[in-house]
Chain A
C-alpha cells in the first residue's frame, strides 16, 4: 500500500495526530478562534502548506478521497507535490473532481462547484492573525480577540476608502465568524468570501509556521466586514473564461505574448474542464 513502510499512515506519528485532533475539536467548538498547536517540521518548507498538510494528515482515513488544489488548479506544483505526498504516505485515493472528494486541501481558493455536507475543506494559511499587520504583538492581538476589540480593523478598511474611494482589500478580506471572532480567511480572493457563509461543508484552517488551527463549522455565518455606505462587494469580471465560457467564475489573467495580449481562464481547473464538457454535450 505504502511506498514508505518506515513511515506511519499519513506520515505523522499517532501522538502528533492526537494533539492535532484535540486542537481541531477545540477549533470547531470556538468558530474563528485560532487554537495554538505544536506544529511539527514537515518534509517541505514553510509556505508550502505545512499547516494544511498536518491538518489533512490528522483527519485522513483509508476510505477518504483526497483532492488538492493550488489557486484553484489541480495541476500546479504545490498541488501535485502534496497529492503525491499523501499518495505515497497513506495510499488513499486521490481525485481532481470536487464532488467526488471527501477532503479537499486548498491553497487560496474555494472550488466553484458547491460543496456538500460531509466534505471537509482544509485551507493552507500563511498568516492566521487578521490583526497582525495592524498590531505586531501577539499578546496584544490575543487580548483584542478576547475583548472583541476589532475597531482597528474597521479603521483599516476606512483608510482604504479614504485613499482609494472603495475598500481595496481584494484577498485575505477579514470576516466575522458566528458573530464573534474576526478571522483571516487565508489569502483567498474576496470573490470566494460569500461561499464561506452558511457552507454545508466543514472548513478547517492550518497554519504550520504560525502554529495555529482554526475552523468554521458547517452552516455558520461568515460575514465580510464592511460599512453601511460601503457594503462588501464581490469581485466582478468583465471577461468570460476563454476556455469554457463561464461568466460567473474567478478568472486568472494569462499574458499570451510580448505585445500584451491577454487571455482570461477559470482558476478552478476542474470546474473549467467539467463546464467545457457540458458545453460540448449540449452543443452550445
Chain B
C-alpha cells in the first residue's frame, strides 16, 4: 500500500515480560470466569483503544489471527496503523472469518451469532471477543460452570440490552460458541462458552 505510514503509539517496552504478565491475567480470568481481577498494563493507549485493551491486542494478535474491529476502532487510522505495525494481523470485515473481534464499546456486541462459533469437529475455530467496558458489578445475573465454585453474580457496564438472552444462546451451543474477554481500565474478566446462566 502507498499510504504514508505512521507508527503512532508504542508497543510493549518489555515484550517478553509484559505479554507474559498480560497473558497470565487472561488465563487466570478465563480459568475463573465472571470474576473481575485487577489488571493495569503499563502500555500506552491507542486512539479509542484503552491501554489495557492495547496490551491484550499485543499479547494475543499476530499475523496468524484475522482481526475484526468494531466501527469505532475500524474508523481510527491510529488503531489500523498500530495493528499493521505491531501485530501484522489481517483485518477482516466478515465477522465469521475473525479469530479475534475487538470492541471499543461492549454494548455493540450483539448479535454474537454473526461471529465464528467453531465447527463440531473443531470447536476451537471460533472467534474470541475482546470488549472494552467501563466497570463490573456483582449485581448481574448468576453464572455457573467450570471454574466457578457454586454460582457467581456478575454484570458489566455497558452491556447490550439483550446480553442475557445472547449469552444463553451462546452457552446452549457448547462446545461451540464464543469466548469473551471484558477489559476495564483497572480490571478484566472473562466469559468462556462453558459458563451457563443460572438465574437472570
Contact = CB atoms under 8 A, between A and B. Distances in A.
**Is B one of A's binding partners?**
yes
A60 interface: yes
A245 interface: no
B17 to A, nearest CB: 6
A29 B193 contact: yes
A118 B24 CA distance: 11
Interface stretch (A7-15, A168-176, A185-193, A247-255): A7-15
A25 B26 contact: yes
Contacts of A194: none
Given A29-B193, A33-B175, A180-B174, A61 B123 contact: no
A130 interface: no
A139 to B, nearest CB: 8
Contacts, number: 112
B85 interface: no
A220 interface: yes
Contacts of B184: none
B8 interface: no
Nearest to A216: B146
A163 interface: no
B20 A61 contact: yes
A33 B64 contact: no
Interface in A20-68: 21-31, 33, 35-36, 58-62
B120 A21 contact: no
B124 A178 contact: no
Interface in B26-45: 26-28, 30-33
Interface residues of B, number: 39
A21 B59 contact: yes
Contact of A18 (B24, B33, B60, B126): B60
Nearest to B174: A180
Contact of A30 (B20, B33, B147, B175): B175
Given A19-B64, A33-B175, A35-B124, A219 B16 contact: no
B15 interface: yes
A208 interface: no
Contacts of A31: 146, 194
Contacts of B121: 142-143, 145-146
B32 A24 contact: no
A195 interface: no
Given A19-B64, A25-B128, A29-B179, A218 B32 contact: yes
A217 B146 contact: yes
24 contacts: A9-B20, A14-B16, A17-B19, A17-B20, A18-B19, A18-B60, A22-B65, A25-B26, A25-B60, A29-B179, A29-B194, A30-B124, A30-B194, A33-B123, A33-B175, A143-B120, A146-B120, A146-B121, A177-B146, A178-B145, A178-B194, A181-B175, A217-B33, A218-B32
Interface of B: 15-17, 19-21, 23-24, 26-28, 30-33, 59-60, 62, 64-65, 99, 120-124, 126, 128, 145-149, 174-175, 179, 192-194
Interface of A: 8-9, 14-15, 17-19, 21-31, 33, 35-36, 58-62, 118, 142-143, 145-147, 177-178, 180-181, 202, 216-221
